[in-house]
Structure 1
Amino acid sequence: MIKNEVISRAIDYILTHIGEPIHVDEIAAYCHFSKHHLSRLFKAETGEGIYEFVKRLKIEQSAFRLKVEPDRSITKISGSYGYSSSNYSTAFKQHYDVSPVHFRRTILERSRTNPIFNNTLPDWESFADCQRKITIEQLPDYYVVYDRHKGSYKSLSEHWCEFLEKHKTYRTEETLLMECTYDDPVITDTDSCLYDLYMTVPEEAPLSPTCYLKGGKFAIYHFKGMVDQIYHGIQSLYNVWLPQSGHFLDERYGFEIYRKVDGDYMEIDICTPIK
Structure 2
Amino acid sequence: MIANEYINRAIDYILDHINENISVDDIASHCNFSKYYFSRMFKIETGESIHEFIKRVKMEQSAFRIKIEKGRSITDIGCDYGFSSSNYSSAFKQHHKLSPIQFRRCIKQKSLLNPVFRNSIGLESFEECDKKISIEILEDFLVIYERHKGTYRNLSEHWGVFQEKNKDYITDKTLLLERTYDDPSITKIEECLYDICITVPEGCTLENTYVLKGGKFAIYHFKGLVNQIYSSFQNIFNVWLPQSNFEIDNRYGFEIYRKIDCDSMFMEIDLCIPIK
TM-score by length of 2: 0.98
Aligned equivalents of 1:156, 1:65: Cα separation in 2 = 26
Aligned equivalents of 1:273, 1:166: Cα separation in 2 = 30
2:149 aligns with 150
1:6 aligns with 6
What does the per-residue CA deviation read over 1:122-180, in whole Å, with 9 as the maximum and x for residues that have no partner? 2x111111111111011111100100011111121111111111111110111110011
1:101 deviation in Å? 0.5
Alignment of 1:111-190 (within 5 A): 111-122=111-122, 124-190=123-189
- Opposite residue 206 of structure 1, the aligned amino acid is T
- Opposite residue 141 of structure 2, the aligned amino acid is Y
Aligned equivalents of 1:273, 1:27: Cα separation in 2 = 26
Aligned equivalents of 1:205, 1:271: Cα separation in 2 = 25
1:241 aligns with 240
1:207 deviation in Å? 1.7
Number of residue pairs matched by the alignment? 274
1:75 aligns with 75
Aligned equivalents of 1:96, 1:205: Cα separation in 2 = 42
Alignment of 1:209-248 (within 5 A): 209-248=208-247
Unpaired stretches in structure 1, ≥5 consecutive residues: none
2:191 aligns with 192
1:35 aligns with 35
Which segments of structure 1 move beyond 4 Å, counting only runs of 4 or more? none
- Opposite residue 268 of structure 1, the aligned amino acid is I
- Opposite residue 188 of structure 2, the aligned amino acid is D
SS in 1 for 2:252: coil
1:271 aligns with 272
Aligned equivalents of 1:173, 1:207: Cα separation in 2 = 20
Aligned equivalents of 2:188, 2:140: Cα separation in 1 = 31
SS in 1 for 2:267: strand
Unpaired stretches in structure 2, ≥5 consecutive residues: none
What does the per-residue CA deviation read over 1:197-225, in whole Å, with 9 as the maximum and x for residues that have no partner? 11101132232211001111000000000
1:96 deviation in Å? 1.2
What does the per-residue CA deviation read over 1:13-51, in whole Å, with 9 as the maximum and x for residues that have no partner? 000001111101111111111111110100000000000
- Opposite residue 31 of structure 1, the aligned amino acid is C
Aligned equivalents of 2:152, 2:88: Cα separation in 1 = 28
SS in 2 for 1:184: coil
- Opposite residue 193 of structure 2, the aligned amino acid is L
TM-score by length of 1: 0.98
SS in 1 for 2:3: coil
SS in 2 for 1:77: helix
